[in-house]
Structure formats: C-alpha cells, structure tokens
C-alpha cells in the first residue's frame, strides 16, 4: 500500500484545507441545523485525519484508495453522531470510529473477498446518496439512486449488503475519565421500550429508592427507549455522566432486588 502519493481517490492531499477551531465550531453549529454545505466543508476539513489514521494500516497490504474511502465513511458517521456536550475534541471522538470502520473492513475483507466491482458500485451508491441529500435536503429512495448511477436496484442492494460489516454492541466508541461508552449505549432498546423486562420484574419499589435524577434517567432509557445521547441533551449533562448515573442506578436496583 502506497501512502506517499499526492492524489488518493481523486483528492489532492497536498491541498486539503485545515480548519481553525472557531471555523470547526461554526460549521458544526450549522451542521446541527441541517446545513449540508457546512457538512461537506467539515468533511473536507477533516480528511487529513483520515489520512493520518490509514497510515497505521500501511502494512495491511490493502489499497490506499480503498482504505481512504472506508475511513471517510467512518468520518461521516462520526460527524453524524458527535455530541458537542461530550466536551471532547472531535478528533478524539472520530479517530476510534474511523479505526473501527477500517478494522471491520479488513476483518471482513480477509474472510470473504468482496469483488472490486461490487465495492465500486457500493461506493457510487453511497456518494450518490450524499450528493442527493445535499441537493434536495432529504435522503433518496433506492430507485432514485439507481437512476442517478445507472445501475439496477437489485445490484445496488447486493453491493451494499456485501460491504456491510457486523458491529459488536460492546465495541468502544469513546472513553472519558475511565467511563467507556459503547455502541450499545448509543442505540435505543425497542424491547425495553415495550416495558417487557420492567413489567416482569416489578421494579416500582426499587425505582422509588433512586434519586430523582437517577429515576428520571432510568425512565427515559427503559420506559421511553431513548438513547444515552438523547437523555444527555434533555437532562443537560454529558453522555458519559448519563452512562455513569445509569450504571449506578441499575446497580442499586439489582442490590435491592437481591436483598
């Protein structure tokens, strides 16, 4: 894998922009308001981050263009999921996600070789979706992506499925002060939203022994099915604090039920 070339995936790496802290803050504010142009500028302003990450995989034997594209997908996921209330630099949050995306690609690519043509179709579909969303401010349908890139819908689905990689719910996303946030902490639990396990265990009395804040967090997480990020925004604290309070509350409830 050659990483010292100037152009990767049609991008001139010697001319990539470098964003100032105040520019990043303003762009991210606009991104949260749905500004797709700001999102594209933020992506371009962080492509050097992707380049620095893929250097770690220079001995993998993979094509630098492929790793760069995969790294960009990780970067976009990081931008879409980053919560400014975490009080950490974006790069601190994004690097593990970019690395994780590349590692999943390498793991999957080593066990089941996906043909280059299928990967190309998948990447074309991804970029077509990005461009459509930027232009029309909504996600395109499969039919619209098919018309845009001139490829049959069935083949697009097959190609997209071929590059998908399973993600462990226990894969770490970010760590703060010894408190690690995992993938499972960032997704809502539909099963718990239906109150199955709460109804079965009759936790009302155990809930009453919690502090008001802990009870509120448990109710939002397991009765309303909200993610930790959603709870953090509503309560006005960081996601790491929500995670810590949730774990302490559940521990207290378990101890009460076992006593």
- 3-class DSSP state of 139: coil
List, in sequence order, every residue forming a beta bridge with 71; answer none if it has no partner: none
pLDDT at 198: 42
Phi, psi at 89, each rounded to 5°: -65, 150
Instruction: Tell me which of 39 and 108 has the higher pLDDT.
Output: 39
Helix (H) or strand (E) segment spanning residue 127: helix 116-136
User: pLDDT tens across 10-66, in order?
Assistant: 666 677 778 888 888 888 889 888 888 988 999 888 888 898 888 888 776 778 888
Least confident window among 35-44, 156-165, 212-221: 156-165
Main-chain dihedrals φ then ψ at residue 245, nearest 5 degrees = -65, -40
Is residue 3 packed enough to be buried (19+ CB in 10 Å), middle (13-18) or exposed (0-12)? middle
Instruction: State both tokens at 40.
Output: 């594209």
Quote the pTM value. Answer: 0.43
């Amino acid at each position: 894998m050659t990483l010292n070339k100037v152009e990767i995936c049609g991008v001139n790496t010697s001319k990539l922009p470098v964003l100032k802290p105040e520019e990043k803050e303003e762009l991210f504010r606009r991104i949260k308001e749905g500004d797709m142009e700001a999102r594209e500028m933020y992506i371009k302003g962080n492509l050097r981050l992707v380049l620095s990450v893929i250097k770690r995989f220079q001995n993998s034997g993979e094509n630098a263009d492929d790793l760069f594209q995969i790294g960009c997908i990780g970067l976009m996921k990081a931008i879409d999921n980053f919560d400014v209330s975490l009080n950490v630099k974006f790069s601190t949050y994004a690097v593990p996600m970019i690395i994780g995306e590349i590692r999943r690609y390498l793991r999957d690519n080593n066990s089941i070789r996906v043909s280059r043509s299928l990967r190309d179709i998948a990447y074309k579909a991804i970029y077509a979706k990005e461009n459509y969303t930027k232009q029309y401010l909504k996600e395109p349908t499969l039919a619209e992506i098919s018309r845009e890139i001139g490829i049959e819908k069935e083949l697009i689905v097959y190609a997209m499925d071929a590059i998908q990689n399973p993600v462990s719910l226990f894969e770490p996303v970010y760590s703060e002060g010894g408190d690690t946030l995992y993938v499972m902490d960032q997704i809502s639990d539909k099963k718990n939203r239906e109150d199955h396990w709460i109804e079965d265990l009759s936790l009302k009395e155990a809930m009453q022994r919690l502090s008001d804040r802990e009870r509120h967090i448990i109710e939002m997480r397991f009765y309303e099915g909200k993610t930790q990020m959603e709870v953090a925004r509503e309560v006005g604290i960081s996601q790491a604090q929500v995670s810590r309070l949730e774990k302490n509350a559940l521990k207290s409830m378990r101890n009460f039920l076992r006593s």
